Amino acid sequence: MAAPLELSCWGGGWGLPSVHSESLVVMAYAKFSGAPLKVNVIDNTWRGSRGDVPILTTEDNIVSQPAKILNFLRKQKYNADYELSARQGADTLAYIALLEEKLLPAVLHTFWVENDNYFTVTKPWFASRIPFPLSLILPGRMSKGALNRILLTRGEPPLYHLQEVEAQIYRDAKECLNLLSHRLGTSQFFFGDMPSTLDAYVFGFLAPLYKVRFPKVQLQEHLKQLSNLCRFCDDILNSYFRHSLGGISPAGQETVDANLQKLTQLVNKESNLIEKMDDNLRQSPQLPPRKLPTLKLTPAEEESNSLQRLSP
């Protein structure tokens, strides 16, 4: 399988390789099954708005949507579910449906519909990764799409009201998290010691909820109380994504670089200040003047020259 597999998806932040749930699912599955994926952080945004992200590109195919991508990888012999029994496979399907029906509406609401969260975190993050002028339009469209989905699947026709469903969807999501926690128990992954498709899906949905810093955090608080689910996310991040955060994956590299840059700038500023202070002190009359190289000036002129140079 020498064909290079390229995955286009949204980038990462807050310690995650990607902030987008579906992209994370595919990345996690690829790590679990050993598929060599080259991750391409996109800002090609029309595709993103139509919900086609993540997209897998090979030489002959373009595959979108996580379920289809996972099927494709399985056909290419990258199968993380090899050791599962038929019944565990059936359980996988059922739990994925549970995630999509109960947890996804609340996750969508937390990211895209809740005003505080959307305007302070989600919108700036996505807008900064989308080129102008699409950055003005696209986050709004994604937000409306999320709201639509919540209302149409949970709301009551013919008048759809958000307030009526908000309480219900958060209740459902908390119940779903509790159920997942019961199911995981104390084992490392959902089906024993090897991670599988279900682990990829759960990780993809939970990790952004767990790691992204939001102002309104009721669901996040609930998740943090379920320590085995938090441990599950951290384990996967540490074992499968740690080295790529420092090395290969450009998304992780970006955040590290950005942080480094800020730090370096601060340090540089500080050291500049310190240098200036140092020079000032040295040039002051109390201290003997420094010997400047290649000077034909007298010491007095030297001093005044250097003082003038240093003044802002």
Partner 1 sequence: MCNLPIKVVCRANAEYMSPSGKVPFIHVGNQVVSELGPIVQFVKAKGHSLSDGLDEVQKAEMKAYMELVNNMLLTAELYLQWCDEATVGEITHARYGSPYPWPLNHILAYQKQWEVRRKMKAIGWGKKTLDQVLEDVDQCCQALSQRLGTQPYFFNKQPTELDALVFGHLYTILTTQLTSDELSEKVKNYSNLLAFCRRIEQHYFEDRGKGSSSIRLS
Output 87 or 309, the one with its CB closest to partner 1: 87
Which residues are CB-neighbours of 192 under 8 A, at least 6 positions away? 83
Stretch that binds partner 1, among 119-127, 176-184, 218-226, 296-304 (CB under 8 A): 176-184
Site string for partner 1, 190-229 (x = CB under 8 A): ----------------------------------------
Tell me the three state secondary structure of residue 62.
Answer: strand
**Which of these, 263, 211, 261, 265, lies nearest to 236 by C-alpha position?**
211
- Residue 264 Cβ vs partner 1, minimum distance, rounded to whole Å: 44
- Residue 102 Cβ vs partner 1, minimum distance, rounded to whole Å: 7
Beta carbons of 32 and 199 less than 8 angstroms apart? yes
- Residue 161 Cβ vs partner 1, minimum distance, rounded to whole Å: 12
> Structure tokens of 43?
């800002």
Output 183 or 211, the one with its CB closest to partner 1: 183
- Residue 38 Cβ vs partner 1, minimum distance, rounded to whole Å: 26
51 lies in the site for partner 1, by CB under 8 A: yes
Output 157 or 288, the one with its CB closest to partner 1: 157
Torsion angle, alpha carbons of 291, 292, 296, 298, to 10: -50
Could you tell me how many residues make up the chain?
A: 312
Looking at 44, 61, 153, 227, which residue binds partner 1 (CB under 8 A)? 153
Cα 207 from Cα 275, distance rounded (Å): 44
145 lies in the site for partner 1, by CB under 8 A: yes
Cα 198 from Cα 89, distance rounded (Å): 9
Output 90 or 258, the one with its CB closest to partner 1: 90
Beta carbons of 302 and 288 less than 8 angstroms apart? no
Cα 12 from Cα 206, distance rounded (Å): 15
How many residues touch partner 1 under the rule CB under 8 A: the total is 29
Beta carbons of 123 and 134 less than 8 angstroms apart? no
Beta carbons of 77 and 1 less than 8 angstroms apart? yes
Q: Which residue has the tokens 């990345």?
A: 27
Stretch that binds partner 1, among 4-12, 30-38, 143-151, 234-242 (CB under 8 A): 143-151
61 lies in the site for partner 1, by CB under 8 A: no
Stretch that binds partner 1, among 116-124, 175-183, 229-237, 247-255 (CB under 8 A): 175-183
Is the dihedral angle over the CA atoms 292, 295, 299, 305 positive or is it negative?
negative
Pair type for strands 5-9 and 62-64: unpaired
Stretch that binds partner 1, among 173-181, 200-208, 221-229, 282-290 (CB under 8 A): 173-181
Looking at 38, 182, 243, 269, which residue binds partner 1 (CB under 8 A)? 182
Output 156 or 257, the one with its CB closest to partner 1: 156
- Segment 62 to 101, residues that bind partner 1, using CB under 8 A: 65, 86-87, 89-91, 93-95, 97-98, 100-101
Cα 164 from Cα 36, distance rounded (Å): 45
148 lies in the site for partner 1, by CB under 8 A: yes
Q: How far is CA 1 from CA 33, 34, 40, 186, in A?
A: 14, 12, 19, 37
Binding site for partner 1 (CB under 8 A): 51, 65, 86-87, 89-91, 93-95, 97-98, 100-102, 145, 148-149, 152-153, 156-158, 175, 179-180, 182-183, 185
